[in-house]
Amino acid sequence: MGWTAAQVLEAGAEPLNLGVAGDDVDALESRLRWGLTADVLLTSAGVSVGELDLVREALARIGATLHLWQVAMRPGKPITFGTLGDRLVFGLPGNPVSAMVTFELFVRPALRKMSGLAQLFRPRILARAGETIANPGSRRGYLRVRLEADPGGYTARLTGDQGSAILRSMVLADGLAVVPPQTVIQKNETVEVILLRDVGF
């Protein structure tokens, strides 16, 4: 959960680390109840549809109402959002890249809104694809890219293998290329990029 705590801090909020719970619904429920002093409950892992994905049941036990379960995006399909009274509840995927990307898109804007900040969303730019960027399948892709300055603005290149368990692909990223489903962006075509950091160009 170290990277999640860092993202919470960067968003302007204060993390309260509840530690790691085992694959046991009672243990999960206990940890979630510890967090009821917080304004937002945030979990990672256990939100898919496997035998040990028990977060949904644990959230139901503490009285949370779940409003969505899964989003058509890559990476990060298994994500949940709910409420518990005035408290927001987010269940992020377990793979580190999936968790980080879904945090950026869903949790960070909510935390900044709750903090009274005016700039809720990361800046977006248009860049030139420095290589072919493909997003097969039926889900919108948020692909990790490096940005380089060029005479026309920016060039975007993938950070390497885009597997959701490959943390290096996120660590190296300046931004997320937003690619519609079943789309191939050819070299030199335009791609939209969500900036994750100040690239200083």
Sequence ranges of the domains in the chain: 2-114, 124-195
Same CATH topology for 2-114 and 124-195: the answer is: no
Determine phi and psi for 115, rounding to 5 degrees.
-85, -5
pTM, rounded to two decimals: 0.91
Q: How many whole angstroms separate alpha carbon 74 and alpha carbon 93? A: 11
Q: Is residue 193 within 8 Å of residue 176, measured between CB atoms?
A: yes
Reported as a single tens digit per residue, the pLDDT across 8-34 is: 999 999 999 988 887 888 988 999 999
Would you state the pLDDT for residue 167? 87
Radius of gyration of the chain (CA): 18
Would you state the pLDDT for residue 201? 56
Q: What is the token pair recorded at 68?
A: 């969505």
> What is 67-135 written as a DSSP string?
EEE--SEES--S-EEEEETTEEEEEE-SSHHHHHHHIIIIIHHHHHHHTT-S--S--EEEEEESS-EEE
Determine phi and psi for 111, rounding to 5 degrees.
-60, -40
Q: Is residue 90 within 8 Å of residue 81, measured between CB atoms?
A: yes
User: CB-based contacts of 50: which residues, under 8 Å, 6+ apart?
Assistant: none
Architecture label for domain 124-195 = Beta Barrel (2.40)
125 closest CA partner among 107, 158, 98, 152: 152
Q: Is residue 111 predicted with pLDDT exceeding 60?
A: yes
Q: How many whole angstroms separate alpha carbon 183 and alpha carbon 193? A: 15
**CATH superfamily for domain 2-114:** MoaB/Mog-like domain (3.40.980.10)
Q: In the predicted model, what is the mean pLDDT of residues 176-190?
A: 97
